[in-house]
Structure 1
Amino acid sequence: MRQATTIDEKTSGPIGSQIAAKPPRFGKGRAFSCRIDPETVLVLGSGHLRGHAVSVRADGAATLRDSSIAASWALSASTPSATRGFAALLTQPKPDVPISMIDVDDGRTRERFLVAPRPISIEEAATLIAQTAALETRAIISRLADQFMAQPTNRSRVSAGLSLIRALQPSDGFIELVGETHDGVIVIMGWSRAFVPGRFQAYLVAGATTVADCFVANFARPDLPEGELGFIAVLETDGRVRADTLKGMIYNAGGSWHLTPAHPRVQVSAPLDTPDHIRSVLLEARATPEAMLRLRSAANGFTGKDTVSSLPFPVRMDLDRVFETDGGDMLISGWLLDPENHVTAVKLRRSGTEARLDEMWTRLDRADVSQSFADQPAFRSSINSDDQAHGFVAHAKLSGGKLDAAPFLELTLREGRRAFLPLVPKRMPARTAALQQLSLFDAANWALPAIVDDQIVPLLCNAAVAAPRMEAVVDVGVFDENTGIPIIVGSTVGMPEVGPLLALLALDPQTHCAPIVIVVGKSAFQRDLVRLRQLARFYGLSVRLVCASGALDRFDLLSVGAEEVSSETIITMSGSLIPAAKGWYGALTAVGLDHIGSVISPMLAYDDRSVKWAGCWLSEGGDQLLLDRYAGYPLMAIAALQLTRVDVASLECCIMPRAVLRDAMRDCGVYLGSTQKAREIGLRINKAGIPAWLLPSIQLLGCDEPLSGEQNGKLAALAERIDAEILKSRWRNGHEPHQSLDRISA
């Protein structure tokens, strides 16, 4: 199919308008020139021409090629000195050197003409032809236009031809309705004498002029005079023309050029209404099979309604959940019952863009669908009891297109029909969408691993997440950063975690005077603000309470809190940890001052005196990126460890440069939990070449991350597996950590 091309407009007047108010006139021995392109000049004049085999030479220069007459005509008002007018195309490759004289030779006599020094425009040339050619004007204009249009790649020549036609050709009918389908094709309706049913190419006038394939059908209209027919046409413009910008069409039919402008009160149809306009005349339309096929395809377009349920075939479809994330990704679940395999393709579409859904979805058993249709006559004999995989889950993204247009599903049937199902997506973050989708499935579902690997993990890997932000800050008493390195405490729970921790910090003389920043989510801040204030005042602590919006986990909270202090060094601390003994703050800050620019973490332990975390090292092979080498060991087994260099520190509690945390948190991945996210942050710090250390002499007690309300027990292990796959996927795609270190003590 021909690709649409665009020709810049040289005229700004309306279609069919007369451009030149005072056109030039022929005179004895006088001619006019009009520059067409950098190498071609149109010359007009009148004289005693006796035939069509006439040659023209400019300025008598032997280097310039002869040119034959492009068109000649009998003058409507002949004189003894001139009986015929002529138009010739001359090759003149020097635009800055005007032609001053031409010689016209008809084989018997030679006439010399002086060329007017001022070139005329193509519109003035058209008017000059119209004044002298009378009834031959249409034929002369068409003949010249044919010569210009013979070189479709020469935009200047094509533009000149279009200008001739627009200037003088009378309007042939009107375009009364213009619409655009969901496929992006333009549909026009109106009346004309010249439209020939079938396929041809036309020039669409819409700001710039676009060449497009047109598929036209005619139909009788009782409101039109005899000899005039209504028409409907599908214009394939490759999206270069919008329906509301179309001003008219220029086309060649019956051996001459025609102009059909848009009516001053043309109706512009919305995409959802356009198929109904086509169907209203389709039964009366007459055209070639190819044109009728295009019209039927456009008529079978999306109108915003469910057409699957009305199909005369055993095909039905419905949706369970449709999510659209903040980044434009979509997660769709539902079922398609097609026991006879009528459906050849399922597409997710939005005006201007599409994605092939059936090539990327994951199928799963839906016995309830089979049972619901088992008693219906159309399905009774075709449903296979051994094939229950009617359900599906699919992740897809529609790139580009009209973002404000509603998405829909399009089913293509082997019978050549299409059916549609409108979508009403629910907007939410990718993490929430994934959790809600997973909550629909039983953990023992055989399709769940494929759903996770092919749909959920790609959704979360590509998800964009807005950075958390501070919403409110409340200082209790005098918050003084000069009393020590600030402790940033992030808690996803609020008062149940922070209350006991504040009591322990108040009992330790070192932390009693330290500046403490407590960061919680918005709901916890609104709920616990008064009680946290009372506790901080009662204990006499220097506390800054921060409300964070958009935080997904404790590390988002820590990053928000770090921005609310001016100190270049901070201590991060999860709200779920408690110090095993007093004096930890002074020991940690002392080592931190000896290793400025490093990340130093104390040992984390469970309350049964076993190791929760004692350093992470890069894996030298296998499926894991990081190894927690001492996790689960009794504390006594590693009592001899001193300050030890590790590959990845723990951000649950560490002393570190504030800038390192800010850089490591930028564009961090979207995870269902926080464990793997902590590993990614640690890997980023490793990649940046920041030294990481384990300080075993300091121990903090804690437990594993509690499950949120979104992650119930059956999904806990699944969420951890999903997060592990997300981390591996993100680090396979161009993220390589720094080289692993020897496991030695300092």
Structure 2
Amino acid sequence: MTDTMLQPDLSVAVLIDDDTLLLFGTCDRPALSGGIATANGEAAGRFDAHCWPREDGGHWLLAALRAPDAGRLQTARLAVDGIDGEALALPRLRAVKVNPWGLLSTLKEEHAAAMPAALDFLLRVLAPADGQPLSARLGKFLSAFVGHIARPEGFAEIFGRLSAGNGTMVQGWSSSLEAGRAEMLVETDACRFYRAEVGTVRRPDLPDTAWGVVAVVPAAEDAPEQIRRIFYRAGGRWCELELFAERTLLPDGVALAHLRDLLPRLNADPATLRALRRRITAVYEGHETVSRLEVPVCAALDRAIRVPGVGTLVTGWLLDPQRNVASVILHGPAFEAAIDGDWFRTQRKDVTEGFLHDGRFAGRLPADRHDHGFLAFVPESAGLPEDAAFHLEIALTDGGCAYLPVHPVAPNAELVRHLLCLIDINNPAAESLIERHVGPIVQAAGRVSPDAPAAPVFAMGRTVATPNVSVVLPVTDGREDVDLHLARLAIDPDFAQAEILVAAAAGSSDRLALTLRRAASFYKLAVRLVPAPQAHDAFEAMAAALPHAAAEHVLLLSTAVLPTTRGWLSELARAAAAHRKPAMVSPTLLYEDFSIRFAGVRVEGDRPVAQFAGYPREWLKERQPVAVPAATVDCALLPKRLIAEAGGLTAGFVGAEYKSADFCLRLGKAGHTCLWVPTVALVAVDEQARNAAHEYWRQTGTLVDRWAFDRHWATRPANTDLRVSTR
């Protein structure tokens, strides 16, 4: 610190806005350029100063002191600790003014030559970031300041807003505004400081000393018609673009097309041209613009599938042999997500063959490389409208970009099967594809699939006014021998007051109705046929039939299960009643050789496993009903309301393999129990469904279901009533 503290003499103090004081006076030597202002020994704010020589020796001082509620400092003892160790003692501020015009008048009349440098100083320390408005008083002061020193050197003739947040275009002519980046001060109702991007263009209607200019003022949000004055800095001095008396105001959106047409004629350095090109392409206009690209890049979307509140899956292809694409981004309402970071690339030989001889791609495409396809799932937060608009942005390395409209559709069975066929089960990355992309949308699609249109229910045989149980018998193949099951039920007194709902899924025989009608009449049973053409497995078929069940209890019964004795339903009902809590009750199921097919479930690790499966029946020692983690829907008696409380039978799985265990675990999570009754045994034929189609999508669907089951039940809900038998 110097031995002698600098003590300036201040003649003017102006409170230019709530947090800024402008100080003007003299000092013996140049004041420190900046430092921390203190008030009564405590840090108060920031001090910046600008000095220029006086003719009679010493220096003039113009300073800005910025501190919260700066007006309170006029009674404080002020000092400045400079960044270079020098200190400055400020006199007490007397008669702080709020009108800056006296200061401006003094500068104009006595210091005209110093005003350009003084203005640069004020803009440097007081102007906020590009496009942020100056305070009202400061804005008017700076606008008047620059208006006094700026010389008119051109006209602004055409104005137009490019798009919200993308800036305003100004076109005209000038004799000093050069191409590149230019500092601009734009006056509207407020005053804002910008760094504009400027291109020049030759105009035959101008003299050789002038040229056409096109400037894009970034982030300018004010309507073009509100612009009153435009100042710019050129060659170290400030100039003005006067407003043409009959200026043209382009409608929103038209300015963008106008600038696009001008761009090929504009002169500027490469960086500025890239910035202008980015301005043009940074606006999505509602249609594709990939076809306009001059670089060898082409892309298309195959489909987009969206579940509101869950996310969107997009599939398509992108051809980019020279790596001109920097990123691919999905845009939606108030969100954007880059998809190329972890998208899944797929083989698209058809794309290679289609562009191999295209002029833009000839010689650039390896004939043996086909990984042009992509598949990506983008999650979304809840709250986006169902009709939200989306588009895909393809950003290029040169700053340009192109767009593809995205029109998502709701998932349906056909789309889900198509997605499942995209999974290559031999690909080591198949599990990653399922976990990251296909799994979330497929499972969500299963949860929100639209309800199938209501189908007529056909009553056959006699009518039971108040059935004691509703038997739900799903038929999912081309079998016609359901009359065998009806015969077994007809000879059992337990089913004398039962109704039998036969749920006919997709693939069931057209002759099934005739078979049922004859059997219902012959055996005097109450049968109702429930067509379920949208169902592809027993669970979906049963779910379609359940709304038509009239009894409080339902018996879910697979066509593979054949009752061999009478009275077994009563035994299941007694076991349920003795449990004193609502429960899903299943018997023992045996193969035709009387080995065990189902005898309850035990837990190994965190997965339920059928116990004693394949062992002789004699291995069973239990004689009392046992609470188990899962029963079996192949044969299960339970109150109908429990199914609704557990969330239904299907829960978004593709196939049937995991639906039974999932339903039972959801039942336990809802506070209910699964019971296995060892002493009741039925035969379950181990058969493949007739006319079963071994489509590829079913195989990959099983992989998706396994992922979904493991993810949902990674931590199985605790159940203190659970008791698991061990071998």
TM over 0.5: yes
Determine whether 1:235 maps to 2:214.
no
1:613-692 equivalent positions in 2, closer than 5 A: 613-620=598-605, 625-633=607-615, 635=617, 638=620, 642-665=624-647, 670-692=652-674
2:352 and 2:370 in contact (8 A); partners too? no
Deviations 1:176-225 (A, max 9, x none): 322239xx734534447797754467799999999876433344667899
Specify the code of the residue in structure 2 equivalent to 1:158.
S
Question: Partner of 2:197 in structure 1?
Answer: 215
CA distance in 1, matches of 2:529, 2:16: 77
1:429 corresponds to which residue?
Answer: 411
Supply the AA of the counterpart residue of 1:177: G
Shift of 1:648: 1.6
Question: Is the 8 Å Cα contact of residues 171 and 215 (structure 2) preserved in structure 1?
Answer: yes
Aligned counterpart for 2:706 among listed residues 716, 720, 724: 724
Query: Retained in 2: the 8 A contact 1:490–1:520?
Result: yes
1:597 to 582, 585, 596: 582
- Select which of 250, 253, 258 maps to 2:232: 253
Q: Distance in 2 between matches of 1:376 and 1:318?
A: 16
How far apart are the structure 2 equivalents of 1:331 and 1:443?
21
**2:261 corresponding residue in structure 1:** 280
* Equivalent position SS for 2:638: strand
1:498 Cα shift?
A: 7.2
Distance in 2 between the 1:527 and 1:201 partners? 84
For 1:456, the equivalent position in structure 2 comes to 438
Distance 1:464 1:189 in 2: 53
* Pair 1:158-2:135 in alignment: yes
Q: For structure 1, which runs of at least 5 residues remain unmatched after alignment?
A: 1-32, 43-50, 54-61, 66-87, 97-111, 116-121
Q: Which residue of 2 aligns with 1:407?
A: 391
Match runs of 1:462-541 below 5 Å: 465-466=447-448, 472=454, 476=459, 480-481=465-466, 483-488=467-472, 505-515=489-499
Which deviations, in whole Å up to 9, do the C-alpha atoms of 1:692-735 show, x marking residues without a partner? Answer: 221231426365685999x7444443332332122112333x66
Q: Deviations over 1:639-697 (max 9, x none)?
A: 86652332122234323344543243279753221221332222233345533221231
* Structure 2 contact 198–214 (Cα < 8 Å) conserved: yes
Q: Choose from 265, 271, 275 the match for 1:294.
A: 275
Identify the range of structure 1 (350-359 vs 610-619) with the bigger mean alpha-carbon deviation.
350-359
- Match of residue 330 from structure 1: 313
1:29 counterpart residue number? none
Q: How does 1:557-572 map to 2 (within 5 A)?
A: 558=542, 570-572=553-555
Whether the aligned pair in 2 keeps the contact of 1:175 and 1:266 (CA below 8 Å) is yes
Query: What is the CA-CA distance between 1:436 and the residue it aligns to?
Result: 0.7
Q: SS in structure 1 opposite 2:646?
A: helix
Mapped contact 1:598–1:657 kept (Cα < 8 A) = yes
Q: Structure 1 stretch 437-446 or stretch 165-174: which is displaced more?
A: 165-174
Are 2:339 and 2:378, in contact at CA under 8 Å, matched by a contact in 1? no
Question: In the alignment, which residue of structure 2 is the partner of 1:349?
Answer: 330
Aligned-pair distance for 1:282?
1.7
Distance in structure 2 (CA, Å) of the matches to 1:398 and 1:469 = 24
SS in 1 for 2:664: helix
Matches of 1:166 and 1:547 in 2, distance apart? Answer: 79
Contact 1:197 1:218 in 2 (8 A): yes
Q: CA deviation at 1:332?
A: 1.4
In the alignment, the residues of structure 2 paired with residue 561 and residue 160 of structure 1 have an alpha-carbon distance, to the nearest angstrom, of 75
Q: Rate the CA distance shift 1:157–1:409 in 2: closer, same or farther, 3 A.
A: closer
Deviation of the 1:593 alpha carbon:
1.4
Change in Cα spacing, 1:458 to 1:446, as seen in structure 2 (3 Å) is same
AA at the equivalent of 1:744: S
- Report SS of the residue matched to 2:169: strand
Give 1:381 deviation, angstroms: 6.0
Between Structure 1 and Structure 2, how many residues are aligned?
643
Distance across 2 between alignment mates of 1:363 and 1:644? 50
- Tell me, in whole angstroms, the C-alpha distance in 1 between the residues paired with 2:170 and 2:341: 37
Could you list the per-position Cα deviations for residues 543-572 of structure 1 after superposition, in whole angstroms to 9, with x for gaps in the alignment? 6777889877554565566566687x5324
Deviates more, 1:299-308 or 1:589-598: 299-308
- Picking from 341, 344, 367, the partner of 1:359 is 341
Structure 1 residue 699 corresponds to structure 2 residue 678: no
Q: For the Cα contact (< 8 Å) 2:590–2:681, is it kept in 1?
A: no
Q: Which runs of 5+ in 2 are unaligned?
A: 1-13, 27-39, 45-63, 73-93
Secondary structure of 2:315's counterpart equals strand
Which residue of the partner structure matches residue 587 of structure 1? 571
Q: Percent identity?
A: 19
Seen in structure 2, the aligned counterparts of structure 1 residues 645 and 465 have a Cα distance that, compared at 3 Å, is: closer
Q: Using the TM superposition, give the Cα deviation of residue 232 of structure 1 relative to its aligned residue in structure 2, in angstroms.
A: 3.4
Distance, in Å, in 2 between the alignment partners of 1:200 and 1:290 is 13
Contact kept, 8 Å, 1:516 with 1:544, in 2: the verdict is yes
> Counterpart in 2 of 1:267?
250
Q: In structure 2, what residue type is equivalent to 1:388?
A: R
Structure-2 separation of matches of 1:360 and 1:90: 48
Shift of 1:514: 2.5
- Mapped partners of 1:398, 1:245: distance in 2: 38
- 2:329–2:339 CA contact under 8 A, matched in 1: yes
Match of 2:84 in 1: none
Q: Could you tell me whether the CA contact under 8 Å between 1:486 and 1:570 is conserved in 2?
A: yes
The superposition leaves residues 130-186 of structure 1 with CA deviations (integer Å, 9 ceiling, x where unpaired) of xx99x99xx99x9999979955679997244457789999998466322239xx734
Q: Aligned in 2, Cα 1:257/1:542: closer, same or farther, shift over 3 Å? A: farther
Secondary structure (helix, strand or coil) at the match of 2:447 reads coil
User: In 2, Cα distance between the equivalents of 1:201 and 1:708?
Assistant: 77
Q: Which amino acid aligns with 1:693?
A: L
Worse-matched range after superposition: 557-566 or 717-726: 557-566
Deviations 1:304-347 (A, max 9, x none): 4464797565x665666655556442141546473xx5345451
Q: Is the 8 A contact 1:321 1:334 kept in 2?
A: no
Distance in structure 2 (CA, Å) of the matches to 1:424 and 1:189: 33
More deviation in 584-593 or 392-401? 392-401
Deviates most, 698-707 or 285-294: 698-707
Which residue of structure 2 lines up, in the alignment, with residue 85 of structure 1?
Answer: none
Q: Deviations over 1:427-470 (max 9, x none)?
A: 24276434213436776677756644554335435657327658
Judge which range, 635-644 or 353-362, deviates more. 635-644
Q: Which residue is equivalent to 2:169?
A: 188
2:133/2:191 contact within 8 Å kept: no
SS in 2 for 1:342: coil
3-state SS of paired residue (1:349): strand
Closer, same or farther: CA 693–300 of 1 in aligned 2, 3 Å:
same
* C-alpha distance in 2 between matches for 1:555 and 1:269: 56
Moved more, 572-581 or 518-527: 518-527
Task: State the 1:233 CA deviation.
Answer: 0.7
Change (3 A) 1:654 1:188: farther
Kept in 1, the 8 Å contact 2:173–2:210? The answer is no
Structure-1-length-normalised TM-score? 0.63
Contact in 2 for aligned 1:166/1:259 (Cα 8 Å) = no
